[in-house]
């Protein structure tokens, strides 16, 4: 079977740190091209084009694209590719709105192309075994603490503070992608507070109270002002003891002990994308984005001091 010829659209940090190594390490794919308006953002061994329009008009031919652009501009690019029958990998979050992701899913169904809303944290080493263990337990309560330093992880990225950029929910949605995957029952927002800097449009911190359909309370603490050690933890109290995912899902601790395996998030994503393409299917789960949208819909907004990089 010939490799899937894939182009990367958007050559920022996530593309270089994660997508390029995963593609190069997967025999199911070959890197056909990179796309960015910045001329020097290309890589050795692949043509570099200034836009998706240029790639589609001039070649080289691609079977799939990975969209690593900010979410606010992703819809038009994805729709353009899907209309041509090109498979599309959407970095998280899959779009700036839920409605546009629904429209893309419908477009993929019409054209037969595969659409993949990729939640990389679900492929962290501890997530699958945590899901299996929790499936047989009674959930009593859940604590999610996702605190990091935005200056370290998103320096100078103005788009992330704009409408559709999600602010602190850019990392927070990773936690929600895990929680919606491992918890055996759906959950919904009951109350919350968003802390929004006076000079920004998106929150820098959030405190959210969820509840699952059996009444278990789920508390989420998000903060982009953390310095020193970073916190990416999900703690689930059950009738059989505590399940803890730390380091963003990489480390699983159960009553029987801790497990820490190699980080294979993006290789796992690309293996999944290849499977979807070869089987003619799509995978577009918007449940994490729905919870973020609900936070903007229902949570109280408090203004805090301005934030500057």
Residues labelled as active-site residues: 92
Residue 225 CB neighbour total at 10 angstroms = 16
Alpha-helix runs per DSSP H in 84-186: 98-111, 127-134, 150-153, 169-182
Q: Can you give 237-267 as a three-state secondary structure string?
A: EECCEEEEEEHHHCEEEECCEEEECCCCHHH
In eight-state DSSP terms, residue 10 is -
With CA atoms as reference, report the closest residue to 101 among 264, 290, 271, 256. Answer: 290
Residue 209 CB neighbour total at 10 angstroms = 14
How far apart CA 299 and CA 286 sit, in angstroms, is: 20
CA distances for 274 relative to 1, 245, 270, 285, angstroms: 12, 27, 6, 17
Instruction: Check if the beta carbon of residue 116 is closer than 8 Å to that of residue 283.
Output: yes
The edge-to-edge listing of strands for the beta sheet with 139-147 is 257-260, 251-254, 241-246, 231-238, 139-147, 217-223, 205-212, 187-197, 300-304
Q: Tell me the sheet residues that pair with 242.
A: 237
How far apart CA 306 and CA 183 sit, in angstroms, is: 36
Within 8 A by CB and 6+ apart from 308, the residues are 199
With CA atoms as reference, report the closest residue to 150 among 189, 110, 203. Answer: 203
């Amino acid at each position: 079977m010939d490799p899937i010829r894939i182009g990367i659209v958007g050559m920022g940090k996530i593309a270089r740190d994660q997508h390029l190594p995963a593609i190069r390490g997967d025999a199911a794919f070959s890197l056909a091209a990179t796309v960015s308006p910045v001329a020097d953002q290309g890589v050795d061994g692949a043509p570099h084009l200034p836009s998706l329009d240029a790639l589609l008009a001039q070649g080289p031919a691609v079977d799939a694209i990975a969209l690593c652009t900010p979410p606010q501009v992703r819809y038009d690019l994805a729709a353009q590719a899907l209309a041509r029958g090109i498979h599309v990998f959407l970095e998280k979050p899959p779009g700036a709105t839920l409605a546009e992701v629904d429209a893309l899913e419908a477009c993929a169904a019409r054209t037969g192309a595969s659409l993949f809303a990729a939640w990389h944290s679900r492929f962290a080493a501890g997530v699958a075994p945590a899901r299996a263990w929790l499936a047989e337990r009674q959930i009593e309560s859940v604590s999610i603490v996702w605190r990091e330093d935005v200056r370290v992880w998103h320096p100078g990225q103005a788009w992330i503070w704009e409408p559709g950029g999600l602010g602190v929910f850019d990392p927070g949605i990773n936690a929600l992608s895990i929680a919606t995957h491992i918890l055996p029952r759906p959950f919904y927002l009951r109350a919350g507070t968003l802390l929004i800097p006076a000079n920004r449009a998106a929150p820098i911190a959030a405190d959210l109270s969820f509840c699952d359909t059996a009444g278990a309370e789920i508390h989420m603490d998000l903060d982009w002002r953390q310095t020193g050690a970073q916190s990416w933890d999900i703690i689930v109290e059950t009738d059989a003891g505590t399940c803890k995912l730390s380091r963003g899902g990489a480390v699983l601790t159960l009553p029987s002990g801790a497990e820490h395996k190699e980080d294979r998030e993006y290789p796992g994503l690309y293996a999944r994308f290849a499977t979807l393409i070869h089987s003619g299917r799509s995978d577009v789960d918007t449940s994490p984005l729905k919870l973020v949208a609900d936070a903007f819909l229902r949570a109280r907004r408090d203004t805090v001091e301005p934030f500057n990089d």
